[in-house]
């Protein structure tokens, strides 16, 4: 039996709206739903079955197919994709502010809480969660102390870690990662790592109990009982 992929090269195809409809081609393995399959030769292409209809699709510029990430139309950022033996064409189609039509980029400032997300060549500014800055190396937001040469974590978090804490204090209980409350904030606390502050946000539905400096169920923290984040 021929594989879905190899057979497709010799069939008559019709182009429509960027997708290529495969006629008289191999059947989609499934009659219903939407399934995407890797193309054996190109990392830029993939096969799509839509309720049993097979088309060959092209990832947008900057994106490749890995069957996992779905940034846009079944395709993922090229730097996240392992193409294996499939060839990838990574010729950029640039527009002002966007190297590729789809991508994530630093906003030009070092240690910035902002970054640029490009979609269809349009640069849209995004903001990291509080306490985090954009880290080009991971294409995402990160703790400022991990970008120490470029960042001043104390300025980002707005807190300076003491070099020591009273031994009987609550903060000392967490040494070498002493914790401190963020006054008036029911969702965040500060922890110090190697002398640098990190702003920690409690998980969903949890609030900071200042008595234990940990994230707890809101029922046990009267002060923050009405502060549940969705
Ligand atoms: C597939 O078929 C079902 C049932 O006919 C329909 O409800 C659905 O919208 C179709 N899906 C797509 C992506 O065309």
Give the closest residue (by CA) to ligand 1 atom 2.
51
Using CA atoms, how far apart are residues 56 and 178, in angstroms rounded to an integer?
55
Predicted confidence (pLDDT) per residue in 23-34, tens digit: 666 679 999 999
3 is written with which tokens? 């594989």
How many whole angstroms from 133 Cα to the centroid of ligand 1?
42
For residues 58-75, average pLDDT? 97
Contacts of 217 (CB under 8 A, 6+ apart): 205, 206, 207
What does the pLDDT read at residue 18?
Answer: 53
The response to whether residue 51 sits with its C-beta less than 6 Å from ligand 1 reads yes
What does the pLDDT read at residue 2?
Answer: 31
What does the pLDDT read at residue 72?
Answer: 98
Work out the pLDDT band at 224, boundaries 50, 70, 90: confident
The response to whether residue 34 sits with its C-beta less than 6 Å from ligand 1 reads yes
Predicted confidence (pLDDT) per residue in 198-214, tens digit: 999 999 999 999 999 99
Mean pLDDT (the chain) is: 89
DSSP letter string, 90-110: -----BTTBSSSSEEEE-SST
Kindly give the number of the ligand 1 atom that is closest to the alpha carbon of 50. Answer: 13
Kindly give the number of the ligand 1 atom that is closest to the alpha carbon of 32. Answer: 1
How many whole angstroms from 32 Cα to the centroid of ligand 1?
7
pLDDT at 229 over 90: no
The response to whether residue 9 sits with its C-beta less than 6 Å from ligand 1 reads no
Look at phi and psi of residue 102 and say left if phi exceeds 0, alpha if psi is from -120 to 50, else beta. beta
DSSP letter string, 150-211: T--HHHHHT----S---TTSTGGGGTTS-EEE-TT-SSEEEEEETTEEEEEEPPTT-EEETT
The response to whether residue 50 sits with its C-beta less than 6 Å from ligand 1 reads yes
Kindly give the number of the ligand 1 atom that is closest to the alpha carbon of 34. Answer: 13
Lowest-pLDDT choice from 38-42, 110-114, 175-179, 220-224: 220-224
Tallying the residues shown for the chain, one arrives at: 230
Whether the Cβ atoms of residue 47 and residue 4 lie closer than 8 Å to each other: yes
Whether the Cβ atoms of residue 175 and residue 184 lie closer than 8 Å to each other: no
């Amino acid at each position: 039996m021929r594989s879905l992929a190899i057979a497709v090269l010799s069939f008559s195809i019709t182009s429509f709206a960027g997708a290529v409809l495969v006629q008289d081609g191999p059947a989609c393995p499934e009659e219903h739903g939407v399934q995407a399959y890797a193309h054996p030769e190109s990392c830029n292409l993939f096969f799509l079955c839509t309720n049993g209809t097979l088309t060959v699709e092209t990832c947008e510029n900057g994106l490749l197919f890995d069957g996992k990430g779905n940034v846009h139309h079944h395709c993922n950022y090229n730097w996240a994709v392992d193409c294996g033996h499939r060839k990838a064409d990574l010729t950029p189609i640039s527009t002002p502010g966007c190297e590729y039509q789809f991508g994530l980029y630093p906003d030009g400032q070092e240690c910035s809480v902002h970054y640029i997300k490009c979609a269809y060549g349009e640069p849209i500014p995004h903001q990291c969660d509080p306490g985090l800055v954009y880290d080009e190396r991971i294409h995402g937001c990160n703790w400022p102390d991990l970008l120490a040469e470029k960042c001043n974590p104390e300025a980002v978090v707005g807190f300076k870690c003491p070099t020591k804490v009273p031994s009987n204090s609550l903060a000392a209980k967490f040494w070498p990662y002493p914790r401190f409350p963020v006054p008036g904030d029911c969702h965040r606390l500060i922890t110090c790592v190697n002398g640098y502050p990190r702003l920690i946000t409690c998980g969903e539905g949890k609030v900071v109990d200042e008595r234990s400096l940990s994230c707890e169920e809101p029922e046990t923290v009267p002060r923050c009982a009405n502060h549940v984040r969705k």
